[in-house]
Structure 1
Amino acid sequence: MRLLIYGYGFAGKALARRMAAKGWAVSATYRDPEAAAAMRADGIDPVPAGDKAAIAERLGRTQAVLVATPPGPEGCPALQVLVPALARAGAFPDWIGYLSTTGVYGDRRGGWVFEESSLAARSPEGARRVAAERDWLEVGRGMGLTVTVHRLPGIYGPGRSAFDRLRDGRAIRYALPGHVFSRIHVEDLAAGLEASIARPRAGGIYNLCDDEPAPNSAVIAYAAQLLGVEAPPERLVDFGAMPPQARRFYDETKRVSNAKAKAELGWRPAFPTYREGLAAILKAGG
């Protein structure tokens, strides 16, 4: 069995490790030649991201494809490469998974959102995700491919957690009553994708997140407690002084349901809240 990952980042690497441990061969795209060397060292077959012929050759013997690149102003870059390559190879993978974001739901003032909730993205990035989801689902219907969409909140894990922000002095706790967001440990994300690969459903859309939406301030305070350091004091929010990315984050609040992924995929997060996730990261030396 072979997996092709278009966009070998934090999520893609976690899925690659998981599937390789199950005996899968893994190919992944790259743009930087130095990244290709690192992939080879990890046992990954590197493929130039723009080489449609090389990608078509891999697709001809691939059962699962993960699309993990963000869309730009011109749409999803992976779609522009993979669709012609699929046609060229006459390939029909069992599963194509597109990684989207829960940002497609926009602001719900702390309310719950489900896969069937209306899409109300407020940022240009969120609107591009809505369009990319639509484009991939249309490709799936038009070409008879099993395309699934996975909507993700903030992803954390070793090397990307509140511990890192505390250690380098970047952790900020904003006093913003009622503001919560969902998150997912990268290993739970990989497990959710593996479950989707095992139960492919054309047009399936799944929220992959933990069980407890929580304030970012609480997450940082708990991480500080685990490290045995003093948590940064809460500060009032000054939206005008925030960088654009942070302002977009704090301008939206919602609770994301993972009930559908649990029911249809049989998936359960190993780290149902940030507490278990952070404790595991610290125990592993992260």
Structure 2
Amino acid sequence: MFEKNKLFVFGFGYTAAFLASQLNLSMWQVAGTSRRQEIRDKYLSSNICLIDYMDYAQICLNLKSVTHLLISIPPVRQVGDVVIADFSDILKELAPHLKWIGYLSTTGVYGDHDGNWVDECSMLKPDNERAILRVGAEKNWLQLGEDISVPVQIFRLSAIYGPSRNVLRQLLEGEVSCIFKAGHYFSRIQVEDIVQVLLASMNAPQMGEIYNLADDEPTPSHEVIQYAATLLKVSPPKLLSIEKAKLSPMTQEFYNSHRKVSNAKIKQSLGIKLKYPSYREGLRALLQNCVG
């Protein structure tokens, strides 16, 4: 019925912009929502149509021809997932034409596993409000997919970095603290590798699948910062113990949970070969491209 595939993104942000840049726009239409006027204005001259989330009628009009749907809006207190709350009825009507629904979640749903490895079958132990809301949103999207017989894929993202969002730039701008917590590892993923996972999934949708997105090498954050400083040939910030650091509530939550995220499933099920298997390859590439 439709000449082109059409991707609609609820919450057209950093990851969605990179995904759209990799789609052949002769074969794809791309639309989405953004609450920010400057973002909508940025794409006025492109083939990407961005709509204010409050413009319900225009969103519904665009959704009528959608084949692929990506959700990148976090759930909120008392409402949960806003897209399901506002648009579940129209999504049920669109079901015959929908080929794929992707939901961008977070590895934060695993909570604290005492530094052990977690995979997609590991127990979810959300330990803060945001993670609890994410678990609920995941369940609701998986249930909706089952109800309307549309493949829903949950993507649990580790810390995202890439052009314009990386520790190299933060170092140059003096915006990074080098916090030390003994034996505490973080997982991360370069945005280009997120996009290749999304594209692979869009080409081979499966009912109710969940994927962890992380690189091969969980690493303490201070080691990443020190490596970045070496690349830039600058002195790294002084190590600051976790006990003495003045952390925001969100940063404190990151340090309260400790786990290493396995990416085996995306390799085995989707055939992914990471372009940036560790922070070293990722940061070197960013430096070669003028620090993103």
Shorter-chain TM band: over 0.9
2:160 equivalent in structure 1: 155
- Give structure 1 regions of 4+ aligned residues with deviation exceeding 4 angstroms: 88-91
Contact 2:179 2:245 in 1 (8 A): no
Are 1:47 and 2:47 matched, yes or no?
Answer: no
1:198 equivalent in structure 2: 203
Contact 1:16 1:26 in 2 (8 A): yes
> Structure 1's 229 and 22: CA in aligned 2 closer, same or farther, altered over 3 A?
farther
**Structure 1 residue 271, shift from structure 2 partner:** 0.3
1:261 equivalent in structure 2: 266
1:82 equivalent in structure 2: 87
In the alignment, which of 102, 106, 111 is matched to residue 101 of structure 1?
Answer: 106
TM-score after normalising by structure 2: 0.93
> Structure 1's 105 and 90: CA in aligned 2 closer, same or farther, altered over 3 A?
closer
Are 1:182 and 2:187 matched, yes or no?
Answer: yes
> Structure 1's 42 and 216: CA in aligned 2 closer, same or farther, altered over 3 A?
farther
1:18 equivalent in structure 2: 22
Are 1:4 and 2:8 matched, yes or no?
Answer: yes
Q: What do the CA deviations read for 1:153-195 (whole angstroms, capped 9, x no partner)?
A: 1000111110122112122112211100110001110111011
> Aligned equivalents of 1:175 and 1:29: distance in 2?
39
> Aligned equivalents of 2:258 and 2:59: distance in 1?
39
In the alignment, which of 279, 285, 291 is matched to residue 280 of structure 1?
Answer: 285
For structure 1, which runs of at least 5 residues remain unmatched after alignment? none
> Aligned equivalents of 1:66 and 1:135: distance in 2?
15
SS of 2:43's equivalent? helix
SS of 1:225's equivalent? helix
SS of 1:71's equivalent? coil
Contact 2:95 2:148 in 1 (8 A): no
Contact 1:59 1:91 in 2 (8 A): no
1:64 equivalent in structure 2: 68
> Aligned equivalents of 2:64 and 2:190: distance in 1?
32
> Aligned equivalents of 1:247 and 1:89: distance in 2?
41
Backbone CA RMSD of aligned residues: 1.7
Q: What do the CA deviations read for 1:91-144 (whole angstroms, capped 9, x no partner)?
A: 531000000000000011110000011100101000000000001111111121
Contact 1:53 1:85 in 2 (8 A): no
**Count of residue pairs brought into register by the alignment:** 286
TM-score after normalising by structure 1: 0.95
Give the AA of the match of 2:45. Answer: A
**Structure 1 residue 238, shift from structure 2 partner:** 2.1
**Structure 1 residue 69, shift from structure 2 partner:** 0.6
Give the AA of the match of 1:129. Answer: R
**Structure 1 residue 250, shift from structure 2 partner:** 1.1
In the alignment, which of 239, 244, 253 is matched to residue 248 of structure 1?
Answer: 253
